[in-house]
C-alpha cells in the first residue's frame, strides 16, 4: 500500500516523465528556425512552432507536440522556395478568435519594402491554413513612401480582422481603404469596407496601423525576429 502511495505522489509531481509532465514543457527546438512556444491546440501545455528547411530545398511550417509533429509545406505565388528558405520565419502566435489555442502567423517572403504572410491554425490535431482574401491567400504588411499595408485584430479573440492600407494619389493625397473581415472556419468573410481620400499627414490614423506589424494588438507570443 505504501508503495502505491509513493508512485501516485511521484506521478502528481511529474517526476515519472509521463505524458502529463511532458505536456507541461515545450518540445525541443532542434532543426527548427525562429521557433516560438505556446498553446496552439487549446490543450494543457505548450507546442513548439518553427520553420524547417528540407531537401529540394523546400520550406515547411512545423508544429511539435509532446508525442508527434505536424507540418505543412509553405508555398507562395510571389516567391520561389529557394528565396523562401532565407526569408520565411514565424512572427508569433495570435489570439484571433474564441477557439481555444492560438493561431500561427508566418512571414513567407519579403520584397523591397513589403512583406507577405500567412495564418495557420491547429484544430483536432490538424494544421491548416486560413485563407486571406487577395495576394494569393496571403496578407501584406509594411511598405514604402508610396504605399503601406497592415493587418490586425479589431479586438483580441473577436474573430474580427482589419486589413487596411493606403497608397499615394498625386503628390499630396493618399487613397485609403479599410476592410473588416470576420473569421468563419478557415476563411475570412468581408463585413464592410471603408474608402477615403486623405491628406498625407492624416493617413493611417486607425488602431490597426500600430507597430510592430503584423497583428500588433493580438500577437500574444512574438518572435524576436522581425525581418
How far, in Å, CA of 64 to CA of 2, rounded?
Answer: 38
Q: What is the pLDDT of residue 114?
A: 93
pTM of the prediction? 0.87
Using the predicted structure, report yes or no on whether residue 88 has a pLDDT greater than 90.
yes
pLDDT tens-digit map of 124-150: 989 999 999 877 889 999 999 889 999
- Confidence band, pLDDT 50/70/90 cuts, at residue 17: very low
Q: What is the residue extent of each domain of the chain?
A: 26-222
Could you give the C-alpha distances from 179 to 98, 152, 160, 161, 187, in angstroms and in order?
A: 21, 11, 10, 8, 15
Q: What is the pLDDT of residue 9?
A: 37
* Nearest residue to 179 (alpha-carbon basis) of 189, 193, 169: 193
Q: Residues 78, 81, 85, 88: is their CA dihedral positive or negative?
A: positive
pLDDT tens-digit map of 89-99: 999 999 999 99
Angle at the Cα of 141 from the Cα atoms of 154 and 36, rounded to 5 degrees = 80
Q: Helices marked H in 40-124 — which ranges?
A: 81-87
Using the predicted structure, report yes or no on whether residue 205 has a pLDDT greater than 80.
yes
What single-letter DSSP state applies at residue 113?
S
Amino acid at each position: 500500500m505504501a508503495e502505491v502511495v509513493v508512485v501516485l505522489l511521484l506521478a502528481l509531481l511529474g517526476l515519472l516523465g509521463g505524458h502529463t509532465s511532458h505536456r507541461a514543457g515545450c518540445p525541443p527546438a532542434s532543426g527548427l528556425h525562429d521557433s516560438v512556444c505556446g498553446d496552439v491546440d487549446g490543450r494543457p501545455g505548450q507546442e513548439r512552432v518553427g520553420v524547417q528547411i528540407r531537401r529540394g530545398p523546400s520550406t515547411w511550417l512545423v508544429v511539435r507536440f509532446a508525442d508527434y509533429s505536424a507540418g505543412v509545406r509553405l508555398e507562395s505565388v510571389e516567391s520561389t522556395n529557394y528565396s523562401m528558405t532565407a526569408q520565411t520565419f514565424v512572427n508569433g502566435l495570435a489570439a484571433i478568435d474564441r477557439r481555444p489555442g492560438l493561431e500561427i502567423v508566418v512571414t513567407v517572403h519579403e520584397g523591397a519594402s513589403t512583406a507577405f504572410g500567412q495564418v495557420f491554425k491547429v484544430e483536432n490535431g490538424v494544421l491548416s491554413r486560413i485563407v486571406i482574401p487577395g495576394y494569393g491567400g496571403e496578407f501584406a504588411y509594411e511598405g514604402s513612401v508610396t504605399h503601406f499595408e497592415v493587418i490586425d485584430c479589431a479586438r483580441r479573440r473577436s474573430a474580427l480582422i482589419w486589413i487596411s492600407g493606403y497608397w499615394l494619389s498625386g503628390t499630396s493625397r493618399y487613397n485609403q481603404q479599410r476592410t473588416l473581415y470576420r473569421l468563419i472556419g478557415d476563411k475570412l468573410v468581408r463585413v464592410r469596407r471603408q474608402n477615403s481620400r486623405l491628406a498625407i499627414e492624416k493617413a493611417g490614423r486607425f488602431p490597426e496601423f500600430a507597430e510592430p506589424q503584423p497583428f500588433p494588438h493580438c500577437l500574444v507570443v512574438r518572435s524576436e525576429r522581425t525581418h
